[in-house]
Amino acid sequence: MKRDMVLVRKLLEFIEAKGARLFKGSIQIEGYEREQITLHLYLLADAGFIELGQDTLADKGPLVLTWKGCDYLDELKAQDRK
């Protein structure tokens, strides 16, 4: 499965909008399957944009947007304003 930058942005915006702590199972993005969302959460965590709690991938632990993730999302929004 390829990296989908539209989904990356949607996930970051979803996490930002829903507050500091979410659970993976609570994330639903229209037009995307659970497997796509899960893969992209792994990719975002690997890149340092989100932090997954110990049990997040089992739908039990929290995930949070990191400082780096906030900065990246701010950059994307700034590009939209240009």
Domain ranges of the chain: 5-81
Q: What is the pLDDT of residues 14-62, one digit of tens each?
A: 988 886 667 667 788 999 998 999 899 989 999 999 987 765 555 555 6
Q: What is the pLDDT of residues 38-48, one digit of tens each?
A: 899 989 999 99
Task: Give 36-45's long-range contacts (Cβ < 8 A, gap of 24+).
Answer: 36/1, 36/4, 36/7, 37/7, 37/11, 39/1, 40/3, 40/4, 40/7, 40/8, 40/11, 41/11, 43/3, 43/8, 44/8, 44/11, 44/12, 44/69
CATH class of 5-81: mainly alpha
Query: Global pTM?
Result: 0.84
